[in-house]
Structure formats: C-alpha cells, structure tokens
C-alpha cells in the first residue's frame, strides 16, 4: 500500500517506520527543527523530503497527502513540565498541524502526546484540541491512552488520537480499543534482563550509586513465598543459589519516598535516577521494565556481572554467524551472550561486596532504541548536508526520549489498512 506522509515534528521517524512495519510503502515529506534529528531522518529515509519548520510549510506546495502524523511538543502538557497547556509556546504549535490538516485534507491524521494532555488545565486544553479537529469538518476522531509496556518492556503511557475521513467504508470497525494482548508477541516482549543486552561503553563515577542503601538477602520457598530476610547480609554475590527446597536471592534497597523508605530492585529491574536527592520521589524501580525514557536517559539497569572470557569464547565460536563484538538482539537472546560494557558506578562502603556479583549501569543508546522499537543503531549516524557523521550518545538519548514507539504506531497502522484499500 503506497501512501504519501506529511510527518510533522518528525523526530527520528517513528511514525514513518511504524507504518512501514505495518506493510505500507511510505514516501515522506517531513518537518523538524532539531538539526540532529533531521540528520538521522535523512540518513535513514533517503527518499524523504525535508520541508523546513512547520510554521513555513504550506499545503499548496505539497503533493497529495494521504497521512499527516504529528507528536507535537509536549513539555507544556507534561507533568514534568510547567503545565501551561495550550498557552505554552511549544504546545501551541499544534495549531500549525491542524492548519496543515485543513490544507492537505489527508484521509487519516494521527496525533501523539503525553498522558498529561488529558488533565492539562482541568481538561480544557484537550477539549479545545478536539473542537479544533471537529471544526475542520469531514473527520471522525478516536483516541486512547496506550502503553508501550503492552508490547515492549518500557512503561510509557501516551495519548494517541486518530482522525479519519467520514467517507470511510461503513463496515470498518475503527481503530480503538487496542488492548494489552493486541501486540504481536516476539522476542522483544521478553523481560528487561534478557532484552536489554547490547554492546556499549561508558565509564567513570555514577551518582546513582548514592541511592543504593544496602544489599539484602532473602530466602524464597519452593512456592515462591519469601520466608526469611537478612538486612545485614552483604554477601559477595548476588547470584541466586538453589538449595534446601528454595532459593536464596539478594536485592538492592533503593532509597525512595515510600513509607518504608525504600524499594527493592533485583536482576533485570530498572532504577530511575532522576532527582536522586528528592525526599518526595517514589516509583523509582521498574519491575522487569524500563520506566518512561526521557531525553537524558536517567535510568539504570541491574544485572549480574558476566564472565568476559566465556563471552569472548562464545563469540569466537559463532564467528561465522555474526561479527565479533556486534551480536544482534537475537544472538544475545538465543546464545545467552551478555553485555560486557563497563559499569558506570564506583563502589563505596558496602557496595564493594555488591559488585563482586552484580552491577548497575546506565542504559545504552542501542537499548533505548530497542525500547522504542527502532532497529539497532538507528540513531548512530546522521546526514549533515550530505556528509555522514557519527551521532553523540547525548543526542542519541535525546532522540530516543523524544520519539514515538514504533511498535505502537504499527499496531494503529495495521488497523487503518482498510481505509487505504
């Protein structure tokens, strides 16, 4: 199915790639102001056409457009922002997108934004946006709060609103609701412990270690219940040990504003390192899931240390199947190859014993790409005026944090196929 897309606030092309993944042949005209995101988009989608800032785009200068997509700037709606809503300079840009929908009259348009859109200004902003879509005439609108965690191991709630022509075929069932079980199950639906493994590098002290209070051991019986806790145990390994009809495990006690003062993190759990000195922050630990990626990647993952020699030997044994040092996610998943990038924390006090068997490290750019559904190294290079340059990790984290989740877009796109037949 061939479609022409106008990709506004395009970022690194999550909407474009989502529709391709759903089986469409997409030709894009894209608008963005961040030069690094523009460079990645040009590098990955070489047949696309850059059309400048959204304020400068005019429908009369474009070919027939079948689809308009936009994840307009969300800072003024976000709970982490100043909640100025439509009065904010960035969020008001949605009016430019609505203008272009009116000028291009696409068969479908999709808007993505943060959960806070619903509550901004006591719901008045969302009502105003809906009214603006209705005032275009000739469109029906559906919307739903979708969570990336239904498909990939990242807890990321976003509002998706789909508008489509009132001339849509009468037997079509619409887009929503999309449920937790609607996403296709594949190896990416695995836990963080097995999914978030990728070659990376980083070094130096990491302030997140300040949040770890101590290592705690506990015994779990054969039925899975915790039968004993030892809050003074700082044994030199965090690997599970089987014996006596149950397992002896260990976890980290992470400082939190919960009533007990901490949350528990084990292998494969994520730790949110935002505002580490806050006395009111809670929900820092993501159980086998990453929390919502932001533009700074303030997240770490807890994992066992691995035998570097054994990993390298396994790579050499599979030399003909993949390049040394560049295992794919399936290689890592099936052959149990683990990330051997250095730890980002410097042990202190009882943490020295902790790191005999465990480590805490920041997510790598590749892991962030995977959590958003992008191919490995989608953000590694960009095209700057025709010159291909490597992207800094800072920019890669920012681009992934700002992106839409490709797999969520693909689920929506699949349901829109009947409108284009």
What is the tens place of the pLDDT at every residue in 364-404? 899 899 999 999 999 999 999 999 999 999 999 999 999 99
What lies within 8 Å, CB to CB, of 91 at 6+ separation is 72, 73, 74, 75, 76, 77, 84, 85, 125
- Cα 235 to Cα 165, 198, 218, 354, distances in angstroms: 63, 28, 11, 7
Contact 277, 211 (CB under 8 A): no
Q: Does 60 have pLDDT greater than 80? A: yes
Give the mean model confidence (pLDDT) for residues 98-120.
92
Stretch 200-217: mean pLDDT, rounded? 41
- Give me the percent of the chain exceeding a pLDDT of 90: 40
d(CA 2, CA 16): 12
Tell me: pLDDT of 341 over 50.
Answer: no
Q: Higher model confidence: residue 30 or residue 256?
A: 30
Tokens 């990491």 found at: 206
Classified by CATH at the fold level, domain 2-185+376-420 comes out as: Rossmann fold (3.40.50)
pLDDT above 70: residue 182:
no
Contact (CB, 8 A) for 297 and 274: no
Whether residue 324 is predicted with pLDDT greater than 80 in this model: the reply is no
- φ, ψ dihedrals at 410, nearest 5°: -60, -40
Q: Given pLDDT bands bounded at 50, 70 and 90, which one contains residue 334?
A: very low
Measured distance CA(122)–CA(102) in Å, rounded: 27
Q: Which residues pair with 203 in a beta bridge?
A: none
- 72 within 8 A of 97, measured Cβ to Cβ: yes
pLDDT band at 217 (very low <50, low <70, confident <90, very high): low
- On the question of pLDDT at 219 being above 90, the answer is no
- Mean pLDDT score, 296-305: 78
pLDDT band at residue 118 under the 50/70/90 scheme: confident
Q: What integer pLDDT is reported at residue 140 of this predicted model?
A: 92
Above 80 in pLDDT, residue 319? no
Least-confidence region, from 237-246, 279-288, 384-393: 237-246
Retrieve residue 384's tokens: 């700057």
CA distance 397 to 107: 33
Higher pLDDT, 78 or 370: 370
pLDDT at position 103: 97
186 Cβ contact partners less than 8 Å away, ≥ 6 residues apart: none
Least confident of 9-18, 44-53, 246-255: 246-255
Mean pLDDT in residue range 30-55: 97
Asked if residue 126 has pLDDT above 50, the reply is yes
Per the annotation, the verdict on 141 as an active-site residue is no
Please tell me the predicted confidence (pLDDT) of residue 373. 94
pLDDT, residue 288, reads: 82
Give backbone dihedrals phi and psi of 392, rounded to 5 degrees, phi first.
-70, 155
Instruction: Find the catalytic residue in 74, 297, 343, 400.
Output: 74
Mean residue pLDDT of the chain comes to: 74
Question: What's the per-residue H, E or C state across the chain?
Answer: CEEEEEEECCCCCHHHHHHHHCCCEEEEEEECCCHHHHHHHHHHCCCCEECCCHHHCCHHHCCCCCEEEECCCCCCCCCCCCCCHHHCCCHHHHHHHHHHHHHHCCCEEEEEEEHHHCCHHHHHHHHHHHHHHHHHCCEEEEEEEEEHHHCCCECCEEEEEEEEECCCCCCCCCCCCCCCCCCCCCHHHCCHHHHCCCCCCCCCCCHHHHHEEEEEEEEECCCCCEEEEECCCCCCCCCCEEECCEEEEEEEEEECCCCCCEEEECCCCEEECCCCCCCCCCCCEECCCECCCCCCCCEEEEEECCCHHHHHHHHHHCCCCCCCCCCCHHHHHHHCCCCCCCCCCCCCCCHHHHCCCEEEEECCHHHHHHHCCCCCCCCCEEEECCEEEECCHHHHHHHHHHCCCHHHHHHHHHHHHHHHC
* Two tokens, residue 132: 């603006």
- Name, of 97-106, 185-194, 351-360, the range with top average pLDDT: 97-106
For residue 129, name the pLDDT band (cuts at 50, 70, 90).
confident
Find the mean pLDDT for residues 26-31: 98
- The domain ranges of the chain are 2-185+376-420, 197-362
User: What average pLDDT does this structure show over 340-365?
Assistant: 50
Q: With bands split at pLDDT 50, 70 and 90, how would you rate the model's confidence at 305?
A: low
Tell me the Ramachandran region of residue 85: left when phi exceeds 0, alpha when psi lies from -120 to 50, beta otherwise. left
User: According to the model, what pLDDT value does residue 68 have?
Assistant: 98
């Amino acid at each position: 199915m061939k479609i022409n897309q106008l990709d506004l606030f395009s970022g690194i092309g999550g909407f474009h790639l989502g529709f391709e993944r759903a089986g469409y042949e997409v030709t894009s005209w894209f608008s963005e102001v961040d030069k690094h995101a523009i460079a990645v988009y040009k590098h990955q989608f070489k047949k696309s056409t850059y059309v400048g800032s959204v304020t400068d785009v005019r429908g009369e200068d474009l070919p027939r457009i079948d689809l308009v997509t936009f994840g307009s700037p969300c800072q003024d709606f976000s709970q982490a922002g100043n909640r100025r809503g439509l009065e904010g300079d960035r969020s008001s840009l949605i009016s430019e997108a609505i203008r272009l929908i009116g000028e291009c009259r696409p068969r479908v348009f999709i808007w993505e934004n943060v959960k806070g859109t619903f509550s901004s200004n006591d719901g008045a902003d969302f009502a105003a946006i809906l009214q603006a879509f209705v005032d275009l005439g000739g469109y029906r609108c559906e919307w739903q709060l979708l969570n990336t965690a239904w498909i990939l191991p990242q807890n990321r709630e976003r509002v998706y609103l789909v508008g489509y022509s009132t001339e849509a075929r009468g037997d079509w069932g619409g887009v929503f609701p999309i449920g937790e079980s609607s996403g296709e199950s594949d190896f990416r639906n695995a836990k963080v412990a097995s999914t978030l493994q990728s070659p990376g590098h980083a070094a130096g002290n990491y302030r997140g270690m300040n949040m770890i209070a101590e290592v705690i051991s506990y015994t779990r019986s054969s039925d899975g219940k915790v039968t004993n806790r030892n809050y003074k145990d700082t044994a030199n390994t965090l690997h599970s040990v089987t014996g006596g009809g149950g397992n002896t495990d260990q976890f980290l006690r992470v400082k939190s504003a919960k009533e007990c003062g901490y949350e528990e993190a084990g292998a494969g759990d994520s730790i949110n390192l935002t505002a580490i000195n806050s006395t009111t922050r809670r929900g820092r630990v993501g159980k086998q899931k990453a929390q919502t990626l932001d533009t700074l990647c303030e997240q770490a993952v807890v994992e066992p240390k691995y035998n570097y020699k054994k990993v390298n030997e396994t790579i050499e044994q599979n030399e003909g199947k993949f390049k040394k040092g560049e295992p794919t996610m399936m290689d890592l998943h099936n052959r149990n190859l683990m990330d051997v990038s250095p730890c980002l924390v410097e042990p202190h006090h009882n943490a020295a014993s902790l790191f005999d068997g465990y480590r805490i490290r920041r997510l790598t750019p590749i892991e962030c790409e995977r959590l958003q559904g992008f191919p490995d190294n989608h953000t590694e290079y960009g095209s700057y005026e025709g010159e291909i340059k490597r992207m800094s990790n800072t920019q890669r984290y920012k681009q992934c944090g700002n992106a839409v989740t490709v797999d969520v877009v693909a689920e929506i796109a699949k349901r829109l196929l009947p409108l284009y037949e």
